[in-house]
Amino acid sequence: MNEAIRVDNLAKRFAAVEAVAGISFTVRRGELFGFLGPNGAGKTTTINMLIGLARPDAGTIRIGGIDCGANPRAAQHLIGVVPDDSNLYPELTGFENLCFCAALHGLDKRERQSRAKELLHYFGLAEAGGRKFGGYSKGMKRKLTIAAGIIHQPEILFLDEPTTGIDVASARHLRQLIASLNRAGTTIFLTTHYIEEAERLCHRIAFIVAGRIVRTDAVADLLQPLQGRHRVQIACGAAPEPLRQELPAAFPELEFAFPEPGLIRVAAAGPVRVGPLVRFLEDHGAEVAEARRLQPSLEDVFVQVTGIETDQMRREKERKGGAP
Amino acid sequence: MKRWIAFWNILRKDMRTYYLKPPNVSWGIIFPLAWTGMFFIKSGSGLGSIPTLLPGVVAVSILFGTTSMLAVTVTFEKKNRSFERLLLAPIPLELLMLAKTAGAILFGVANAFVPVAMAAGLADLSTVAWTAFVPAVVLISVASTFLGLFIAVAVSEVFEAQTFSNFFRFPMIFLCGLFFPVAKLPVFLQPLSYVLPLTYGADALHGAVHGGNAMPILNDLAILALFCLLLFSVSLRHIQRRWIL
């Protein structure tokens, strides 16, 4: 059987709020599956139902072929979970935390100690292994939390916002680790609101908005419709507000977007002639600093599919204190 | 076998991180000492009063040691989400909660024997029926721990756990026949005594130490065991309903 996870018509409601509204998807064995959406879209509720920490109101979940409908905890021996919070024990050392998590999965003493040492080394935490978890930096905490999630070598790993709130270098290192885990054969279910992270890591992606999956596809297929599009980004200081209306009127063959103050994105079916645009902007009081061609990205797909502007996503990132 | 590895390690971690910490060990010694001293001075009848005071001090030491520790530690782990790690372990919920409560039960039993050790140095305990005393101590410890679990699943903040525990514990000191018989309570309060598990534990201890039991000891122990089952199953149901949403 090629399906690691199969979800059919999964639904969950909290009082008047429909958190997850009848979603269906499958994750193939060995796949790195991304689950993307803004805050409050239903990502964590979905992951909680998949791992047995929440009970669905309707629908079915099969993990590794096991029907988790009757018993939400039935497939827990197959899964590893890395929650969005680094929820290990602050009073235990890194090594003790890993050994304890291994013991929860029934590994004997010799096996759990050897796995713990191996993972501390693998995650670059060998020297910090004897220090208490409570004294770790955020990046170290995330790494150890991921190590705890895979200590029992699960077939399927759930990663909930793994790089949120950590510095750029640690996030990059974590992404490399996630990719190498997947190459080693672990099926990974990744929720994130960092679109570029999902684009770099995932094979397939589902977009969830307001509890509904609006699109599921391979990353290459998601990008395909944008391949023929020509896109330019213009950076200019303090563009006057009326330009938002004047630009589309002056260049009706072009599509304009204003993702944040001082940035203008232009899209067209054919090549975008930058000269007239720059002249128009400067004539209307905007100082153009840069104009460059953009490659199609998943961010554009996300905006197109969900209707949610990326500056909204960026504000979410900033609120969470994260680095992309 | 794998389940027992998990069970043993949860118990061992809790013993190390909570119960064997110096503040708790000192609590386990000072608390019974203070209660014994207080009632010893209050009774004014010298060393002869020790056997009649001992059951109450033992019961109250267990009650206070177990309920507060378990309610606070579980609420704390629930609050910082480390409890989710336990809920994700591939072991049955019943075994998981038994592992989580086993540390508090052992702590309660150990607390019980602090006043016993002190009393042994001051009075003759050769007439104590240990075959009744020990099961009574264990069952009181289990019942009090499960009461702590019941409190832990009913609250979401550590301070609520403390407040809620006191709501149960302080009335139990006076209503359960620890230091004076239930029969001496006002008639309208007596029915309340019989719905509290500690009444049966205290009665069994009085019977074991100085033969002052109001009911047959076996009945006391059986009723106490039923309270344990009831509190544990209600707590499990609450966990399934409230924590696995």
How does pLDDT run across A16-65, given as a tens digit for each residue?
Answer: 889 999 999 999 999 999 998 888 889 889 999 999 888 899 999 999 98
Q: Which residue of B has its CA nearest to A90?
A: B82
Mutate to test the interface with B, among A44, A48, A71, A73 (most CBs of B within 10 A): A73
A3-223 architecture in CATH? 3-Layer(aba) Sandwich (3.40)
Q: Which ranges constitute the DSSP H helices of A151-273?
A: 168-183, 195-201, 219-223, 243-250
Whether the CB-CB separation of A180 and A123 falls below 8 Å is answered with no
**Share above pLDDT 90 across residues of chain A, in percent, rounded to a whole number:** 39
Mutate to test the interface with B, among A85, A104, A108, A153 (most CBs of B within 10 A): A104
Question: What average pLDDT does this structure show over A239-261?
Answer: 83
SS3 of chain B: helix, strand, coil, percent, to 5:
80, 0, 20
pLDDT single digits (tens) B171-217: 888 898 888 888 888 888 888 999 999 999 999 999 999 888 889 99
pLDDT single digits (tens) A258-280: 877 888 888 888 888 889 999 99
Say which residue, A88 or B245, is predicted with more confidence: A88
Decide the pairing of beta strands A32-36 and A58-63: unpaired
Which tokens go with A164? 């949120």
pLDDT single digits (tens) B3-29: 899 999 999 999 988 888 887 778 777
Contact across the interface for B84 and A83, Cβ inside 8 Å? yes
Decide the pairing of beta strands A58-63 and A3-14: antiparallel
Residue among A14, A73, A87 minimizing CB distance to B82: A87
Inter-CA distances, B36 with B102, B112, B209, Å:
26, 12, 15
Q: Which helix (H) or strand (E) holds B93?
A: helix B93-122
Contact across the interface for B81 and A85, Cβ inside 8 Å? yes
**Share above pLDDT 90 across residues of chain B, in percent, rounded to a whole number:** 34
Give residue A315's pLDDT. 59
Contact across the interface for A87 and B2, Cβ inside 8 Å? no
Cβ-based contacts under 8 A for chains A and B: 72
Residues of A in contact with B84 (CB under 8 A): 53, 83, 87
Give residue B138's pLDDT. 96
Contact across the interface for B17 and A89, Cβ inside 8 Å? yes
Which residues, 6+ apart, have CB-to-CB distance to B166 below 8 Å? none
Contact across the interface for A104 and B81, Cβ inside 8 Å? no
Whether the CB-CB separation of B217 and B207 falls below 8 Å is answered with yes
| Residue B5 distance to chain A (closest CA, Å) | 5
Contact across the interface for B6 and A72, Cβ inside 8 Å? no
Which tokens go with A54? 């929440």
Domain boundaries, chain A: 3-223, 228-295
The reply to whether A180 touches chain B by the CB within 8 Å rule is no
Give residue B157's pLDDT. 79
Residue among B17, B89, B93 minimizing CB distance to A104: B89
| Residue A313 distance to chain B (closest CA, Å) | 26
pLDDT band at A238 (very low <50, low <70, confident <90, very high): low
Contact across the interface for B245 and A101, Cβ inside 8 Å? no
Overall domain count for chain B: 1
The range of the structural domain enclosing residue B70 comes to 2-242
Residue among B81, B85, B244 minimizing CB distance to A72: B244
Decide the pairing of beta strands A79-82 and A187-192: unpaired
Mutate to test the interface with A, among B24, B85, B95, B244 (most CBs of A within 10 A): B85
Closest among B9, B86, B93, B2 to A107, alpha carbons compared: B2
What secondary structure does DSSP assign to A57-89, as a single string?
SEEEEEETTEE-SS-TTTTTTTEEEE-SS--S-
Contact across the interface for B81 and A87, Cβ inside 8 Å? yes
Which residues, 6+ apart, have CB-to-CB distance to A30 below 8 Å? A4, A182, A185, A186, A187
Contact across the interface for B85 and A101, Cβ inside 8 Å? yes
Q: Which residue of B has its CA nearest to A50?
A: B88
Give residue A114's pLDDT. 95
The reply to whether A121 touches chain B by the CB within 8 Å rule is no
Question: What average pLDDT does this structure show over A220-234?
Answer: 79
Average pLDDT in chain B:
86
- Domain A228-295, CATH homologous superfamily name and number: ACT-like. Chain A, domain 2 (3.30.70.1150)
pLDDT single digits (tens) B41-76: 776 666 667 778 889 889 988 988 888 778 778 888
Which residues, 6+ apart, have CB-to-CB distance to A143 below 8 Å? A123, A124, A125, A170, A173, A174, A177
Q: Which helix (H) or strand (E) holds A265?
A: strand A263-268
pLDDT single digits (tens) B151-161: 888 887 777 87
